[in-house]
Amino acid sequence: MQILDKKTDFNFMSKRKIAAVFSILLLLSSITSLLMQGLNFGIDFTGGTMIELSYKEEVKLESIRSTLEKNGYGDAIVQNFGSIHDVLIRLPILETENMAELSNEIVATLQSGNESKIDVRRVEFVGPQVGEELTEQGGLAMLYALIGILIYVSLRFEYRFAIGSVVALVHDVLLTLGFFSILQLEFDLTVLAAILAIIGYSLNDTIVVFDRIRETFLKMRKGTSEVIVNRALNDTLSRTLMTSATTLLVVTSLFFFGGEVIHAFSIALMLGIVVGTYSSVYIASNTILSMGVSKADLMPPEKEGDQDINEDGSQV
Total domains, the chain:
2
Helices (H), the chain: 16-36, 43-46, 61-70, 99-112, 128-156, 159-183, 189-219, 225-257, 263-279, 285-290, 295-298
Residues 171 and 279 in one domain: yes
Report the pLDDT value the prediction gives residue 211, as an integer from 0 to 100: 86
Chosen domain end from 104, 126, 148: 126
Residues 102 and 32 in one domain: no
Q: Would the pLDDT of 269 be above 80?
A: yes
Residues 76 and 139 in one domain: no
Report the pLDDT value the prediction gives residue 32, as an integer from 0 to 100: 95
Find the mean pLDDT for residues 269-274: 92
pLDDT band with cut points at 50, 70 and 90 for residue 268: very high
Find the mean pLDDT for residues 196-206: 85
Q: Which of 107-116, 123-132, 265-274 has the lowest mean pLDDT?
A: 123-132
Report the pLDDT value the prediction gives residue 66, as an integer from 0 to 100: 87
Q: Would the pLDDT of 133 be above 60?
A: yes
Residues 259 and 148 in one domain: yes
Q: Which of 36-50, 127-141, 235-249 has the lowest mean pLDDT?
A: 127-141
Residue 201: give the domain boundaries.
12-40+130-297
Strand pairing class (77-81; 119-126): unpaired
pLDDT band with cut points at 50, 70 and 90 for residue 64: confident
Q: Would the pLDDT of 22 be above 60?
A: yes
Residues 205 and 85 in one domain: no
Task: Say if 223 falls within a structural domain.
Answer: yes
